[in-house]
Structure 1
Amino acid sequence: MNDELNVIDNLDELGRFLLSVESGGLGLDGVEGVGMATNNADGRHFVAVFDSNHKVLHARWITKDVFETGKDMVRNGVKPKH
């Protein structure tokens, strides 16, 4: 993981992370997608940014609650607030 101590623990923070990926705020090149997954070694959940070859460009740990409740946000994108 890129930052072992910086765990996303709420949906607002997940939304900010997704918006920063979408806007280019992380400075990543070749972004093709974002997804959630579970680490096979220890069962921890994470959100990752992938390139066209499915290589992880950037990843952040997420809590179990964010993993369970944030799937639609990752799948469908962040909806702007009015």
Structure 2
Amino acid sequence: MITDQDEITSLAELEAFLLLVESGGLGLENVEGVALATHNSNGRPFVAVLDDKHQLLLGRWVTQDVFENGKDLVRIGPKKRH
């Protein structure tokens, strides 16, 4: 499921989303990873939250700029905030 609302438009928003996923704030179960991807039918970029079987649990659209510049943030993970 990819939500059309609240497109992620900045790296700060992407980091906040990743922290929310990591903290369990979205109530998702079996979260195993997060990836940046493009939709097969329209090529639109999104951030995907994946389960232990690599199935999409949740997706949020991202701008092309976030897609291109947020790869390290997704791969390495956000900085923990204290």
What's the TM-score bracket when you normalise by the shorter of the two chains?
over 0.9
Q: Tell me, in whole angstroms, the C-alpha distance in 2 between the residues paired with 1:56 and 1:81.
A: 26
Residue 17 of structure 1 is matched in structure 2 by 17
Per residue, is there more strand in 1 or in 2? 2
CA 1:25–1:81: 2 relative to 1, 3 Å = closer
Work out the percentage of aligned pairs sharing the same amino acid.
57
Q: Tell me, in whole angstroms, the C-alpha distance in 2 between the residues paired with 1:72 and 1:2.
A: 22
Segments of 5+ residues of structure 2 without an aligned counterpart are none
Aligned length: 82
Within a 5 Å distance, the mapping from 1:6-45 to structure 2 comes to 6-45=6-45
Secondary structure in structure 1 of the residue aligned to 2:31: coil
Q: Tell me, in whole angstroms, the C-alpha distance in 2 between the residues paired with 1:56 and 1:64.
A: 20
The residue identity in structure 1 corresponding to 2:7 is V
Structure 1 consecutive aligned stretches of length 4 or more whose deviation exceeds 4 Å: none
Segments of 5+ residues of structure 1 without an aligned counterpart are none
The residue identity in structure 1 corresponding to 2:47 is V
